[in-house]
Copies of this chain bind each other. A is one copy, B any other.
Amino acid sequence: MLKVAIVGASGYTGAELLRILVGHPEVEICCVTSRQHEGLPIHQVFPSLSGFCDLLCEPLDVAAIAARADVVFTALPHKSAMEVVPGFLDAGCKVIDLSADYRLKDQDVYQQWYQPHTSPELFAEAVYGLPELYAEQIRSARLIANPGCYPTSVILALAPLLEEQLIDPKTLIVDSKSGVSGAGRGVKLGSLFCESNEGFKAYGIASHRHTPEIEQELASLAATDIRLSFTPHLLPVNRGILSTCYADLLETKSSDELLDLYRQRYADEQFVRVMPGEQLPNIAYIRGTNFCDIGLVSDPHTGRVIVISAIDNLVKGAAGQAVQNMNIMCGFKDAIGLGIVPMFP
């Protein structure tokens, strides 16, 4: 059994890692940490887990954890993650970091959007953990930078078009909508029920920190510089991201032709479901699962293609993708522990 530790277990991402890993047949969770709930059984922090996990929340002691764990999931805020990741690596653990700390390849860009970085020497080694793009590198990685939730939804939506150079990269516009769990479990005014319920708004227009991450990966796919309009919105649901992506087509292609391209591109990817015909993704169809559903329309009226993707921000956008990465790193089957059937309604 693989021994895994979850560092930062009392947030929603931590809870989701636990939900998935308690049922994983090859894994034993050996440690959960939470500063805030130290000493409390994790099933009192999350009563939903009652009967599934009796571990007590521990303080974050790198050496003590590294002595017991083979793989460490760091579900900490950016900056907090970089304070412990190098220690876990030095102690011989594999690390899957769910923060933003190792996702950007360019230190200047990181420091412009976040703050000074204390271990930029790891940038070259860290593998961007999007298995549909980087499975080979993930297989042999020590450090995975688990992708952001918005970037996952956008990159999977646009990769086939950019790889085939079918769209004009200068015209890319992404309008994304995320459920409230994307803001985490921290107590702040904007996350209150009454501030979000029956509301809807954009935020962080032209300034959201996921923008450089998306641009980096799309630029790599397009082999050209990318400047993106990215507008995130706050959706009054618990979970789910839907991204609506617009681009000018460089040559005329029908919806069916483009859907065929997507089906080919993702034929071997069991977590990408290309919707049939005119069906469009809905976050209700992938809730709780590691799927990314994709649909699209080619519009001859404007010459644009509109691609829509839906993921669960806590699963394919965080914990599920992290477990998918772990499976690949450890030689398990990709989907093991992730065969959750979507619950509808």
Contacts and interface: CB of A to CB of B under 8 A. Distances in A.
Contacts of A198: 198, 237-240, 283-284, 287, 345
A180 B193 contact: yes
B50 A206 contact: no
Contact of A246 (B50, B229, B287): B229
A194 B202 contact: no
A215 to B, nearest CB: 10
A201 B231 contact: no
Chain A residues touching B, range: 35 or more
Given A203-B280, A229-B304, A301-B227, A188 B191 contact: no
A23 interface: yes
Interface in A171-210: 171, 173, 175, 177, 180-181, 185, 187-189, 191-203, 205-206
Contacts of A55: none
Copies in the complex: 4
A60 interface: no
A47 interface: yes
Interface stretch (A113-121, A132-140, A336-344): A336-344
A200 B302 contact: no
A84 interface: no
A263 interface: no
Contact of A194 (B52, B181, B195, B304): B181
Contact of A345 (B51, B181, B297, B342): B181
A237 B299 CA distance: 29
Contacts of A302: 206, 227-229
A49 B342 contact: yes
Interface of A: 12, 15, 19-20, 22-23, 44, 46-52, 171, 173, 175, 177, 180-181, 185, 187-189, 191-203, 205-206, 227-229, 231, 233, 235-240, 242, 244, 246, 270, 273, 275-276, 279-288, 293, 297, 299, 301-302, 304, 306, 308, 310, 339, 341-345
Given A49-B341, A191-B194, A194-B238, 12 more contacts: A47-B282, A175-B246, A187-B192, A198-B284, A200-B310, A201-B242, A201-B280, A202-B306, A205-B280, A205-B308, A236-B236, A343-B343
